[in-house]
Structures are given as C-alpha cells and as structure tokens.
Amino acid sequence: MESPFKGNILKGKVALITGGASGIGFEISTQFGKHGASVALMGRRKQVLDSAVSVLQSLSIPAIGFVGDVRKQEDAARVVESTFKHFGKIDILVNAAAGNFLVSAEDLSPNGFRTVLDIDSVGTFTMCSEALKYLKKGGLGRGSSGAGAIINISATLHYTASWYQIHVSAAKAAVDATTRNLALEWGTDYDIRVNGIAPGPISGTPGMSKLAPDEINNKSKDYMPLYKEGEKWDIAMAALFLVSDAGKYINGDTLIVDGGLWLSRPRHLPKEAVKQASRAIEKRSRNQPIGVPKSKL
Ligand code: COA
C-alpha cells in the first residue's frame, strides 16, 4: 500500500532498528528508508541481515547490518557505536527484537521465562541505555539538530492475561513500564520522546507462523469478533507517525495497532434479543400509572 506520508518526513535521519532484518522490524526499516532515513539493522543472523541490507540498498536506501544479540551489553555498545561511526549520528532507535514461543506456565522453566525477559525487557533497556548519549538533543553527531526518538515494540497480551504466554506477558509489561519511565526521565532531561507500539496479529511475520498456526487462527475468529489480521505496513505507518514531527507531542504512549482486537468479547446475546427485551420493559412501564410505586399496585 502507498504511504499517506510525504517521502521526506525522515530526510536526514538515522535509525537503528533491532530485529530490523525480518518481520515487522524489516518493514519499519523499509518504510523509514523510503521516507528519507538511513537505517542500521541489528540482528543475530548474518545471512538474514545481509539479504535485508541488499534489498534495502536495491531501493536506494542507505543501509548497513550489524550482527549482535541485544542480551549482550557489549554487542549493544558495539552496534550503537558502529552505527554512529558509519552514519555520523543516531536520531531514532526502534527496539523490535523479541523472543517468543507458546508454552504452558506449568511446562515453562525459569530459564525459559528469563530468556524472553532478557531479550524483550532487559534487551530493550540495554539498547536505550547504550544509545542515550547519541539521542540527546544536540547529540554527538554531525548535523544533529533535534533530540531523538525511541520506539519499543510491545504487545497487548498483558492487558488482561494470555494463554501460554506468561513469559511474554511479563516481558511486555516491563517494556511498557520502561517506555513510560524513560519518557518521563529522558523527555524531561533531554527532550527524547519514548513511545511504544502494541501490534495485534500481523500476517506474514515469524511471530504469527510460530504463535498462531492456521487452525488456531481460524478458531480465534469464533470467540474474538474483532479478530482480523493486520499488515506489517500498519505497524510501520504507526512507527513513522510516532517518530516524525506528526507525533512531536506524543511521549510515553503505547499505541495499540490491533483493529480493536484486545477489546474483543464474544457476543453473549443476539442484538434482536436485546431489542425485544427493551421493548417488553417499555411496554410494562407504559402500563404502570405514573407516580404510583410498584408495591401499591
Ligand atoms: N518451549 C519451552 N521452553 C523453551 C522453548 C519452547 N518452545 N524455546 C526455548 N525454551 C527455553 C529452553 O528450554 C531454555 O530453558 P532451559 O535451559 O530451562 O531448558 C530457555 O528457553 C533458553 O532456550 P535457548 O534455546 O537456549 O534460547 P535461545 O537463546 O537459543 O533462543 C528464543 C530462545 C526464544 C529467542 C528462540 O525461541 C528464538 O530464537 N526465537 C526467534 C525469535 C522470535 O521468536 N521471534 C518472534 C517474536 S514474536
């Protein structure tokens, strides 16, 4: 789909995107590039990074890939510094790297729980922490005029509770708290805006193929009336909006982009039954004399 934004809204900006070579992260990298940004991608798999970078370069987007694991502070520091050395500044950080798998709480080991928190929650904070000095207003970079922006990719799982995703729910709750606290501290001290995006089920992503195989997906539609899949594009447009000047007054928010899915409830009564019941009540009350209490009739 064509973007509703002007092609130059991120002109001259440099963005570092963790998990930027696949799924939602790659679409964000692509759309940021198409709107004028230079992009650095961080990921664990060299081959995946190499092919993502060559796709971006074929679109004339200045792009570079760095192998690294957000769980390792030395990797985070190296990638942030390499991005700065390569492009001369960093304006935007997107934390899209995440780990996930379905498992019942009973079968999940504490190490499995910790692994996802390490990637999603600690990894997000580590990247923010390492990128801070470059994102500050005036920054360290050439031509760095304004303060930077951070986007943390979250989820809606923890708004209520989710089957077989206790580890991810806990991890994303921590991500949202991190978003709000950094928005307060770094928004006040450095004018850095920190926001999140909570995607619903997005088609064609590793998350969907892993977490919602077709048979689960089809069943979901029965008990979640608002269930429909989004596109990676929907998330990338939300990210563009939040980091561009259009979002300049938005700080500490996590934008839900799920078509309203998390509000879904099965319809417990058909609409016609509700109409009939209210007609019956109306009829009864019309037959009662005004001002006479029911008990005296
Ligand atoms: N079910 C239950 N436990 C699991 C599991 C699964 N499917 N996958 C990993 N674990 C547990 C392991 O058993 C281990 O715990 P243990 O030491 O007590 O046995 C712990 O998690 C670490 O596993 P390990 O395989 O060493 O971790 P890893 O660092 O290689 O990778 C993930 C773990 C989660 C990152 C891996 O699933 C992955 O690479 N995912 C790709 C990214 C992804 O999921 N993207 C989609 C985002 S929505």
Nearest CA residue ID for atom 7, ligand 1: 101
Mutational pocket test of ligand 1: of 115, 154, 164, the residue with most ligand atoms within 8 Å of the beta carbon: 115
pLDDT at 182 over 70: yes
CA distances from 70 to 35, 121, 123, 243 (A): 26, 10, 5, 22
The Å distance, Cα 277 to ligand 1 centre, comes to 52
Q: Which domains does the chain have, with CATH numbers?
A: 14-268 (3.40.50.720)
The Å distance, Cα 4 to ligand 1 centre, comes to 38
Q: What is the mean pLDDT of the chain?
A: 93
Which ligand 1 atom is at minimum distance from the Cα of 98?
47
For residue 289, the model assigns a pLDDT of: 72
Nearest CA residue ID for atom 13, ligand 1: 112
For residue 292, the model assigns a pLDDT of: 60
The Å distance, Cα 292 to ligand 1 centre, comes to 69
pLDDT in tens, 34-44: 999 999 999 99
pLDDT at 296 over 60: no
CA distance 191 to 150: 11
For residue 211, the model assigns a pLDDT of: 77
CA distance 209 to 200: 14
Answer yes or no: are the C-beta atoms of 41 and 67 closer than 8 Å: no
Nearest CA residue ID for atom 30, ligand 1: 115
pLDDT in tens, 192-229: 999 999 999 999 998 887 777 776 677 777 788 899 99
The Å distance, Cα 99 to ligand 1 centre, comes to 7
Spell out the residues 6+ positions from residue 175 whose beta carbon is closer than 8 angstroms to its own. 95, 120, 121, 124, 152, 153, 154, 196
Longest dimension (CA), the chain: 87
The Å distance, Cα 115 to ligand 1 centre, comes to 7
pLDDT in tens, 139-180: 666 555 568 999 999 999 999 999 999 999 999 999 999 999
pLDDT at 297 over 70: no
Nearest CA residue ID for atom 17, ligand 1: 111
CA distance 39 to 102: 32
Nearest CA residue ID for atom 14, ligand 1: 112
The Å distance, Cα 102 to ligand 1 centre, comes to 10
- Mean pLDDT, range 220-247, rounded to an integer: 93
pLDDT in tens, 4-31: 999 999 999 999 999 999 999 999 999 9
Nearest CA residue ID for atom 10, ligand 1: 112
Spell out the residues 6+ positions from residue 59 whose beta carbon is closer than 8 angstroms to its own. 30, 33, 34
For residue 212, the model assigns a pLDDT of: 76
Answer yes or no: are the C-beta atoms of 269 and 212 closer than 8 Å: no
Pocket of ligand 1 (CB under 6 A): 98-101, 103, 108-109, 111-112, 115-116, 119, 206-207, 210
For residue 74, the model assigns a pLDDT of: 98
Burial label for 295, CB within 10 Å (0-12, 13-18, 19+), is exposed
The Å distance, Cα 111 to ligand 1 centre, comes to 9
